[in-house]
Amino acid sequence: MTNWYPASVPGTVHTDLFQNKIIEDPFFRMNERDLQWIDKEDWIYETNFDLSEEVFQRRNISICFEGLDTYADVCLNGVKILEANNMFRQWKVDVKTLLKKTDNVLNIYFKSPVKVDMPKWESLPYHLQATNDQSENGGLLDRKISIFARKAGYHYGWDWGPRFVTSGIWRPILLEAWDHVKMENVQFIQKKVDKKSAVVQTFVEVLSDQDSNPVSIQIEDENSHKIYSTVQIILKKGLNKIELNFVIKNPALWWSNGMGEPHLYNLKTLLLKEKEVIDSRNDKIGLRSLKLITVPDKAGETFYFELNGVPVFCKGANYIPCDNFLPRVTDSIYEKTILDAVNANMNMLRVWGGGIYENDYFYDLCDKYGILVWQDFMFACSLYPFTGEFKENVRLEAIDNVRRLRNHPSIALWCGNNECNEAWFGWGWKKEYEKQNPEFARQIWEQYLDQYHKVLPAVVSEYAPGVAYRPSSPFSVFGEISNTESGDNHYWNVWHGKAPISDYDSVRSRFFSEYGFQSFPAFESVKRYNPYEKDWDIYSDVMMSHQRGGSYANSLIKTYLLNGYQESKDFESLLFMTQILQGDAVKTAIEAHRRDRPYCMGTLFWQHNDCWPVASWSSRDYYGRWKAQHYFAREAYRDILVSPIQEKSMFDVYVVSDRLKDTKAKLTIKLMDMNGVVINTYDLLVKVTANSSEKVFSVKMKNLLKGSPENEVLAHVVLKTSDQSVYRNNYFFVSQKNIHYLIPNISRFVRAVGNGYEVTLQSNHFARGVYLSIEGVDSFFDSNYFDLLPNERKTVRVKTSATLEDFEKHLKVMSVADTYVHQ
């Protein structure tokens, strides 16, 4: 018996079942457990459609499938037209001869990924590693089958994500109709770009259904209508590739966030026949010179990006998909996600290899706002059967996506995989297979080399010449694990290695492409998926279901917390303190990395976002709320950083600048107690050198402290530049656990403004990590988790739709000193 239900396209089986009230919200409490049956069933989608007379009479008609997830047989009017087997590929089928004017039937039969791939797992003489595949949660025991499907790896679970192995039409289906000739693709290759000129080589692909077809092609500026290049050509039947070259004098260059304007040229490519436009394409192009510089130096080998001749210190985060059910990610979610990076002073996001090649709109936003993109191919923490049909499938997937994304100025790097090289040499995989069977090890390694050192770099070289490629991340030297002298590094000794947070201050790398620290979401976020008080314990079944690191991760959080902070008095306080802990840890790392420039030229923390509500390393939770880490990173990523640090018996202050020009500034250092009494002060004028890190102040600790107990004072450091920009930082001399915090009395005054309120706070004592929240109401605070000096006024803007009465009633203010029992 077959039951038919309404479906959304784009969509997934899970979301359609939810919309039809056949299943409950997959993210609520522990519902994930009860929904593992879905991926073991086949599913059919069907629709009927008519054609207008104009479309029906066209000489050529194709159906374009932009995304089918994953194994799908497609039939049109009873005829099979496609067997799809790759979520990441686009499929185009000529259907002119099969179409009727009315009542066409399109039927898509999605096969269960589990049923399709289980025999592949069983047939291999060895089992390929897939570290994060949560096969047990899916009822498959140890059968980790994710590596056989060209499908988003995180759908099978990760240590921050649930297991929802989706099926469905996840990107649009288009009908394409044309006569005689159409434009297929336009590629812009920036041969040489500087402030004097931009030399652009253009290839236009034109499809013709007949020989001797005369056309002209023209490239113009859509805004000024200036014609950059034009050519007349006689087309041959089939695909024609036409070259047009042009030069733009004194171009407006594209810069990354913080370095200048990310200027975009609106270029229109016109296909004309006898002066009539028969096809056109619009592209927004950023003119820039973008290179990855890896040259030997006295310490090893550099690793940095050079934009328009200027070395860029990359500040950013790792990005995962915004939802397990991808069609739910709206344009507004994408925009908030990218703007949250921009507004935290980031200039790079790494699109991680266990997710997806993102929607065009994601890259459009990165282009618009100046966010560089480190783009992984979709392979992560696993080994893949790179042979036969699978190999060719991957090659075509790579071509599809490199061609689709190559005109975006934001694309800085293509990377073969996430952590597969590290796993082979550093996690024991190589030794394990050699012990099992040396022939197995040889076969697997040969396939690995073919995949990441031959096929994928060849695709990048052919279809996006000039764009940097790396075989893996992290990667330093062929045939070894990564090191700290060259290449990029994933540093996890803090957290997974249980090293103290202070180790961030001493570890070095040329480029930190991953590191991070876990926390729970805010209490108001937790209550959305865990609303019952009986479950408000981090070890409750519900909380553990939304902690994919398991008891191991919870125990790490508790251990780090108890080592460095007072024990939290209740559930809400504990959630809050995990965010302070995470923020302090990542702030420590960012400052250390920036102080170490130019040896280190990049810091990308793990991770920018979540795909569902969960305890994780994210700095923004699934609902878009900023955690403490995101607020802390915003300050640590500003164009100038003032960074105090105790180094042995000395107290030093570094000033790090990403500005392209020198500037003058006044540095003020105050040693004060918790009541705001200033014990010692220093004032000096400093030169802030462009694009550099410099130690600008140093004093012996004993001279700074003047006999004050270290647990009763802090250093408050302020840098004020000649353009009146102000940069602040606070430094503590002992762990937070040992600081004698006084319970602050924080007064507040609320005033309605614009689309929310202004809240002005004042405290009688130093208040660490002041946190504002509104119970049960979505809102955004322009500042939060901040330190409040005694008697200092701090005004926070809050965007919310709450009435003044409700806002004042539900506004909560707390600080670190409020989270534990004082002795």
pLDDT average, residue stretch 570-579 = 98
Judge if the upstream peptide bond of residue 598 is cis by omega within 30 degrees of 0.
Answer: yes
776, with CB counted inside 10 A (0-12, 13-18, 19+), is exposed
Could you tell me whether strands 181-193 and 227-235 are parallel, antiparallel, or unpaired per DSSP bridges?
unpaired
Token duo for residue 664: 């003058």
Indicate the pLDDT class of residue 575, thresholds 50, 70 and 90: very high
Residue (of 638, 823, 621) closest to 721 by Cα position: 638
Residue 466 has pLDDT above 70, yes or no: yes
Report the distance separating Cα 458 and Cα 418, nearest Å.
Answer: 19
What is the number of residues in the chain?
823
Smallest CA-to-CA distance from 706 within 667, 734, 678, 674 is with 678
Helix (H, G, I), strand (E, B) or coil at 503: helix
**724 in the Ramachandran plot: left (φ > 0), alpha (ψ -120 to 50) or beta?**
left
| d(C-alpha 583, C-alpha 632), whole Å | 6
**pLDDT score at 701:** 97
**How do strand 372-376 and strand 348-351 relate by DSSP bridges?**
parallel
Express each pLDDT in 406-442 by its tens digit. 999 999 999 999 999 999 999 999 999 999 999 999 9
Q: How far apart are CA 181 and CA 178, in angstroms?
A: 7
Q: What is the 3-state secondary structure (H, E, C) of 15-26?
A: HHHHHCCCCCCC
Lookup result for tokens 């394990």: 432
Using pLDDT thresholds of 50, 70 and 90, give the confidence band for residue 1.
Answer: low
pLDDT at 707 over 80: yes
DSSP 148-171: GSBS-GGGEEETTEEE----EE-S
Residue 778 has pLDDT above 80, yes or no: no
Write the pLDDT tens digit of every residue in 23-60.
Answer: 999 999 999 999 999 999 999 999 999 999 999 999 99
Instruction: With beta carbons less than 8 A apart as the criterion, state whether 517 and 617 touch.
Output: yes
Report whether 284 contacts 290 (CB < 8 A): no
Q: Encoding tokens for residue 312?
A: 């860029």
- Neighbouring CB atoms inside 10 A of 443's CB total 16
Q: How many CB atoms lie within 10 A of CB 495?
A: 22
pLDDT digits (tens, 9 = 90+) for 54-96: 999 999 999 999 999 999 999 999 999 999 999 999 999 999 9
Tokens of 513: 């492409």
What integer pLDDT is reported at residue 754 of this predicted model?
87
Q: Is the full-model pTM beyond 0.85?
A: yes
* Domains, the chain: 13-174 (2.60.120.260), 180-285 (2.60.40.10), 640-738 (2.60.40.10), 746-818 (2.60.40.10)
Residue 481's pLDDT band, with cuts at 50, 70 and 90, is: very high
Question: Could you tell me if 567 and 812 are in contact, meaning their C-beta atoms sit under 8 angstroms apart?
Answer: no
**Cα dist. 219→164, 179, 243 in Å?**
45, 22, 11
Contact 758, 784 (CB under 8 A): no
304: which strand partners?
293
Arithmetic mean of pLDDT, 312-321: 98
Catalytic residue annotation = 419
- Per-residue pLDDT, 795: 97
Helices 388-405 and 456-463 meet at what angle, rounded to 10?
Answer: 30
- Cα–Cα distance, 17 to 1 (Å, whole number): 17
| Per-residue model confidence (pLDDT) at position 272 | 94
List pLDDT tens digits, range 498-509.
999 999 999 999
Tokens of 204: 């236009």
What is the pLDDT averaged over residues 285-289? 98
Query: What's the mean pLDDT in 225-252?
Result: 95
For the segment 662-690, the average pLDDT, to the nearest whole number, is: 97
**294: preceding bond cis by omega (within 30 degrees):** no
pLDDT band at 212 (very low <50, low <70, confident <90, very high): confident
